[in-house]
Amino acid sequence: MKNVYLILIILSVSCKQAVNTENNMEKYIPATVVDETVKEIESKYPHADKELIRRGVKLTGDFWIAADGSADDFKAFCVNNYSEDKKPLLDRFAKNMETVFGRFSQISKEMQFPVHVGNEPLLSIDEIFASWSPFAHVNDDWFDNKLAMILHLNFPYYSLDERNGKGLQWTADENAAVNLGLHFASRTPGKLQQEAGEIATRAELYISNYNIYMHNIVDENGKRYFPEDMRLISHWGLRDELKSNYADKSETGLLKQKLIYDLMTRIIYQEIPQELINAKGNDYCPTNNRFFKDGQETAFEREKDVRYAFLLEVFRSAKAMDKYSPLYPDAIKRAFDQGLEMTFEEVETMFTTFLSAAVSKEVGKIIRERLGRPLQPYDIWYDGFKTRSSISDEELSSKTSGLFPDAKALEKHLPDILQHLGYTKERSEAICRYVAVDAARGSGHAMGASMKDDISRLRVRIPETGLNYNGFNIAMHEFGHNVEQTVSLYDVDNYLNSGIPNTAFTEALAFLFQKRDLDVLGFKENNPDKAKFTVMDNYWNAFEIMGVALVDMYAWKWMYANPNAKPGDLKTAIINIAKDVWNKYYAPVFDVSDSPVLAVYSHMISYPLYLAAYPVGHLIEFQLEQHLEGKNFAAEIDRIFSIGHCAPNVWMTKATGKKLSVEPFILSTQTTLNLFN
C-alpha cells in the first residue's frame, strides 16, 4: 500500500501545468513576451533545439506570477538561465533532489513510526508529528527561489501521449530529462498540503484502529465461533478470515462466513455498536443487530456515520486544491490522468468490459458446483481455486507462527525467501540489506526509500502468538513492494529514472510475490490441474476488485456533483452506488440482488482513489505471468524491476513485448473454462 506522503502527491502535487496562486491562473506573461524571449534565446544559442526552447519558455511563462517579477524580469531570467548543455544541469538536479527527497522521506518515516508501528503506546502528540510533512513547503520554496522555474525552462513537460509514443526511442538521459520535467507541476500552497496531510493521517488512524474482537461476535442463539484472542481489522482482517474458512468444509465454516458478511454489512450501514469497535467484553449478533452486556441485551449507540464523515474530509481537502491545478482541475483527473497515467474513462471501459464478459457467469457456475450450494455475496472472495484452500488455516498458521514469532525473525528470514524464489545467496543478501521489518498497528504496508543507503520498511501485523498465515500472505505482498522499491532505486541508470510508472505497476509486482507464498513455505503443489485453477483464481480476484474500484470511482464522481453533502447523504449514495454496480455486473452471476458488500473496503477512506490500481495491477500481473512462464523468475524479475520509471505502455513493452489490454485475460479464461467441460 501507499504511505500518506504518496497519497498527498495524488491529491495535491499533481498538475502538469502552471498554477497562478495570486490571480487564479489569469495570464501574467503575454504571448508576445514569450515570443520575444524565445527569439533572444534562439539568437544566443543558434544550434539549440528550437522546439525545446519554445516549450520551456512557454511553460515557465505559464508558471510565472506577479510576485516573481515583471515581464522584463521574466525575459531576463529565461535568457540568463537557459542552458544549451543540459547534461550538467540534469546531473545536479538528480543529485540534489535525491538528497532533499531522500532525507525528507527519512524524516517522514521517523515521524510516522509510532502511528504505523505497534510496539509502544501512542501519545497524544504522535498524530501531530505523523501528520507534519517536511515536504509541504518544498513546492513553495522551489518556486520562490526559482529552482522550479529553471527546471521547467530547461526540462519542459511532455504529455502522456508523447511519452508513450516516443519513450522506447529515448536514451536513459533523455528519459531522465522527461521525468525531471514532471516535477513541481503545481503551485499548491504548502498550507493546503499540510492540512491535507493532517486529514489523511486522521483517516489512516481511524482505519488502523478499526478492530473487531471476534470472540464477542455471536450468532442468533448466542453461540461463539471465533477464538478469544482473534482481533480483526476492517476490512482486511475480516475479509481474510472469511476467505480462510473455505478450507473448512463443515457447516461451521459457512456459519462463520455468514457472520462476517453480516458484520461487514453493519459496518457499511454504520449500524455497528460504537462500543464494539476496538473493544472487547460485550457480545454482538450482527445478523439481528442485537447487543449484549454481561449476558443481557441492551440498547446501544451506533457508530454515527463516522466512516463517511472521514471520506468527506478527505474529499474536501482534495477539492480545496483544485483551483491550483488547471490542467487537472479535480482530484479524479489528478489520480487517473496524472497519477495512474490512464484516464478515468479508459480505466472505466477496461473494467466494465472485463466485468461484462460472458465468462463471468461460467466461472460463477464452476464455483457454485464446487461449493455445492447457491452463491452468496461473500463468495466474491471465494478462495477455493488456491492450493492453500485444501490446507487448513491452522496448519498454515502453525508453520508461519513457528518460523516468524516476531518482526526480527521475519526480517532475518527475508534472504531465504528470495533464495526460494531463485535468487542467489549473494543477490538476496544485497537486496535484503535495505529492507527492515516492523510490527504494524494496521494490516500492513510497505514504505520505500527515496535515496540510496536508506532502507525500505515492511510493516505487517504480528500477534503475540506469532505471524499467522494471513499475515504472512500480506507480508509476501509487501515484501514484493520492498524488492521493487530497492531494485528500481539502485539498479536504474539515473536517479530520475527510479521507480515504476504508477501504483498499479507496483501492485502487480507485489502480486507476483504474494501468490508464491506457499512455495516459500515449502508446500509443494503436485496437482496437475494447478495451471487451470491459477487462471480461475486470477480471474475471480480481478472480477471482485474491479467492482470495488468502480464503487470508489463513482463515489468521487458523486461527491464532486454534491460537494455540500452530509455524511448521512454520502452513506446513502455509496450504498446505492454499490448496489447498482452489484446489480449490473454481479447479480447475473450470483442470482442475488442489492448487496452493498462492494462498499466495505477501507481503502476508500484511508487511501483515496487508490483502489483502481489493484485491478489494473491484476491485468499487468497477468501479462507479466504469461511472459515469465518458462523463464528464470529471479533473473527476469530483476530485469523488469530495473526498467525504472517511464510511460506505462513503454514499460509494458519493455517488460513483456506487449501493451496492456483486458482481452488476453478474458481469452485465456475462456480457453481454460473449456478444460472444465
Residues 35 and 165 in one domain: yes
pLDDT of residue 136: 74
pLDDT beyond 80 at 8: no
Angle in degrees, CA 66, 71, 75, rounded to 5: 125
pLDDT of residue 387: 60
User: Comparing 356 with 518, which gets the higher pLDDT?
Assistant: 356
Residues 364 and 274 in one domain: no
Full residue range of the structural domain in which residue 409 is found: 401-506
Does 275 map to a domain?
A: yes
- Strands (E) across 442-520 are located at 444-447, 456-460
Residues 47 and 163 in one domain: yes
User: Comparing 21 with 257, which gets the higher pLDDT?
Assistant: 257
25 confidence band (pLDDT: 50, 70, 90): very low
Poorest-pLDDT segment among 70-84, 367-381, 610-624: 610-624
Residues 264 and 240 in one domain: yes
Residues 359 and 285 in one domain: no
pLDDT of residue 352: 98
pLDDT beyond 70 at 477: yes
Domain-terminating residue out of 182, 206, 230? 206
CA 389/CA 247 separation, integer angstroms: 5
Domain count, the chain: 4
Residues 133 and 259 in one domain: no
Rounded mean pLDDT, 483-496: 95
CA 86/CA 295 separation, integer angstroms: 75
Does 372 map to a domain?
A: yes
Does 317 map to a domain?
A: no
CA distances from residue 276 to 123, 310, 387, 489 in whole angstroms, order as listed? 23, 19, 35, 44
CA 176/CA 645 separation, integer angstroms: 9
Does 263 map to a domain?
A: yes
pLDDT beyond 60 at 22: no
pLDDT in tens, 290-307: 999 998 999 999 999 999
What integer best gives the mean pLDDT of the chain?
91
pLDDT in tens, 544-592: 999 999 999 999 999 999 999 999 999 999 999 999 999 999 999 999 9
pLDDT beyond 50 at 370: yes
Nearest to 424 by CA among 624, 643, 642, 635: 635
Poorest-pLDDT segment among 130-139, 312-321, 424-433, 498-507: 130-139
Side chain identity, residue 470: N
pLDDT more than 70, % of the chain: 95
Q: Which residues of 499-517 are buried (b: 16+ CB within 10 A; e: fewer)?
A: bbbbbbbbbbbbbbbbbbb
Residues 46 and 141 in one domain: yes
Residues 473 and 563 in one domain: no
pLDDT of residue 523: 86
List the grid coordinates of 204: 489512516
Rounded mean pLDDT, 647-656: 93
pLDDT in tens, 512-533: 999 899 899 998 766 677 788 8
pLDDT in tens, 145-160: 999 999 999 999 898 8
CA distances from residue 81 to 48, 449, 464 in whole angstroms, order as listed? 14, 32, 59
pLDDT beyond 70 at 270: yes
pLDDT of residue 192: 86
pLDDT of residue 389: 57
CA 455/CA 449 separation, integer angstroms: 5
Domain-terminating residue out of 161, 188, 206? 206
Does 600 map to a domain?
A: yes
Residues 642 and 533 in one domain: yes
pLDDT of residue 640: 95
Residues 57 and 189 in one domain: yes
- Are 276 and 216 in contact, with CB atoms under 8 Å apart? yes
Residues 273 and 197 in one domain: no
Does 512 map to a domain?
A: no
390 confidence band (pLDDT: 50, 70, 90): low
CB atoms within 10 A of CB 374: 10
User: Comparing 300 with 503, which gets the higher pLDDT?
Assistant: 300
pLDDT beyond 80 at 677: no
Please give the full DSSP string across 540-589, using - where no structure is assigned.
HHHHHHHHHHHHHHHHHHHHHH-TT--HHHHHHHHHHHHHHHIIIIIHHH
pLDDT of residue 653: 94
Does 391 map to a domain?
A: no
pLDDT in tens, 58-103: 999 988 989 999 999 999 999 999 999 999 999 999 999 999 999 9
Residue 82 CA to chain centroid, in angstroms?
38
- Report if pTM > 0.75: yes
Does 273 map to a domain?
A: yes
Domain-terminating residue out of 478, 506, 534? 506
pLDDT beyond 70 at 494: yes
pLDDT of residue 17: 33
pLDDT of residue 473: 93
pLDDT beyond 60 at 374: yes
Residues 161 and 20 in one domain: yes
